[in-house]
Structure 1
Amino acid sequence: MATRVLVAKPGLDGHDRGAKIVARTLRDAGFEVIYTGIRQRIEDIVSIALQEDVALVGLSILSGAHVALTARTVEALRAADADDIAVVVGGTIPQGDVQKLLDAGAAAVFPTGTALELLVTEVRALTDKVSG
């Protein structure tokens, strides 16, 4: 059975080309991908993650609110007793914010320009930890 991952677009950001490319890349690499679409509330992302029994939530954020949205997602998963679900974040992430995101609970950060092969490798390593 394929590992299930959720690709989500939290907040008001309406640009989803990158998220769709990531979702398709992960699907082509053998993951079962659930894509939420744009403008999702954190509560809805967490609810979908729980319902779909995913191993990982990937947040795609271009709005500049990546630190707050990531922290809220991690906190909401913990509150739902689902802190075993890894959270990764990608998008327009300044290098200076990468450590802030990791400190907020992100398992990995993928700034714009990250090679898709690297993303697949890291997502596979994170999900193997959860399912292994």
Structure 2
Amino acid sequence: MSAEQGQRQIRCLVAKVGLDGHDRGAHVIARAMRDAGFEVVYSGLHRSPDEVVQAAVQEDVDVLGISILSGAHNTLVPKIMDGLAEYGAREDTLVLVGGIIPDDDKDRLREEGVAEIFGPGASMDEMIDYIRDNAPERR
């Protein structure tokens, strides 16, 4: 069913948080999401957790994809999750993390509320299918 037939288009924010300046992968992912028919907003580089939360809330996104390669995921992602909770957006926002995440840290991020983690080599089709299957239904 297309958006024209009444299905709401999935809204996504691809966010680069912290001092990580590598955004090629985030651009590739944003384009893949767009090509899959999602509405996509890209945060730009060097966003603070608060800026990411504000953008997610203001844009009323269904999916927040956090791209992080800096190793600061255990600090920055919980701040984003707490911010989403403060706005009542944590339960109805599918949060994904992409980047270099050590296996030892994945369970902690999931406990924080991250739905899925996509590392190097994850296929775009796998990510798109995951979003389609798990994006929250909205009114």
TM-score, scaled relative to structure 1: 0.93
| Matching residue of 1:64 | 71
Partner in structure 2 of residue 80 of structure 1: 87
Contact residue 14 and residue 43 of structure 2 kept, 8 A:
yes
Cα separation, 1, equivalents of 2:9 and 2:137? 13
- Does 2:111 match 1:103? yes
Taking the aligned partners of 2:9 and 2:86, their CA distance within structure 1 comes to 27
Q: Which runs of 5+ in 1 are unaligned?
A: none
Report the equivalent of 2:50: 43
User: Tell me, which stretches of 5 or more residues in structure 2 are unaligned?
Assistant: 1-7
Aligned to 1:55: 62
* Rg larger in structure: 2
Show CA shifts across 1:31-69 (max 9, x none): 000001110011111111111111111000000011221
Runs of 4+ aligned structure 1 residues displaced above 6 Å come to none
Determine the C-alpha separation between the residues in 2 that align with 1:121 and 1:46.
24
**Percent of counterpart pairs with the same letter?**
43
The Cα of 1:113 is off from its aligned counterpart by 1.2
RMSD of the alignment, in Å? Answer: 1.3
Aligned twin of 2:41: 34
Q: Using the alignment, how far apart are the partners of 2:127 and 2:52 within structure 1? A: 21
CA-CA distance at 1:16 after TM superposition: 0.1
TM-score of the superposed pair, with normalisation by structure 2: 0.89
The one-letter amino acid paired with 1:14 is G
Shift of 1:130: 3.2
The answer to whether the Cα contact below 8 Å between 1:93 and 1:112 also exists between their aligned partners in 2 is: no
Find the counterpart in structure 1 of residue 22 from structure 2. Answer: 15
What amino acid is the match of 2:119?
A: P
Contact 2:49–2:77, Cα closer than 8 Å, also in 1: no
1:24 equivalent in structure 2: 31
Provide the secondary structure at the position in 2 that maps to 1:14: coil
